């Protein structure tokens, strides 16, 4: 399983295809490695849902929880 977290394009450069290129790279990497799935973690799904739907992502009922083993510092 590949985990994709915090895919962010600088606001001055959005809607120019860079996000699509990064995402397609991750998808083809996962296919090459024969991974079963990619799990996307985002705190901005409402705004970015159309982008991920367009690239073949589907909604999951799974919700993440975290245990912070170490402080970020």
Q: Quick one: 47 or 70, whose CB is closer to ligand COA?
A: 47
Instruction: State the minimum distance, in angstroms, from the CB of residue 31 to ligand COA.
Output: 19
Q: Quick one: 12 or 34, whose CB is closer to ligand COA?
A: 12
Who's near 5: CB < 8 A, 6+ residues apart?
A: 40, 41, 42
On whether the CB atoms of residues 57 and 20 are closer than 8 A, the answer is: no
Residues that bind ligand COA (CB under 6 A): 6-9, 14-20, 42-44, 47-48, 50-51, 54
Distance CA 48, CA 41 (A): 11
């Amino acid at each position: 399983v590949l985990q994709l977290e915090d895919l962010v394009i600088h606001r001055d450069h959005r809607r120019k295809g860079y996000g699509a290129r990064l995402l397609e790279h991750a998808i083809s990497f996962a296919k090459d490695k024969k991974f079963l799935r990619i799990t996307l973690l985002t705190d901005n799904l409402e705004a970015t849902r159309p982008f991920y739907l367009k690239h073949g992502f589907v909604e999951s009922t799974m919700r993440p929880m975290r245990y912070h083993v170490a402080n970020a510092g």
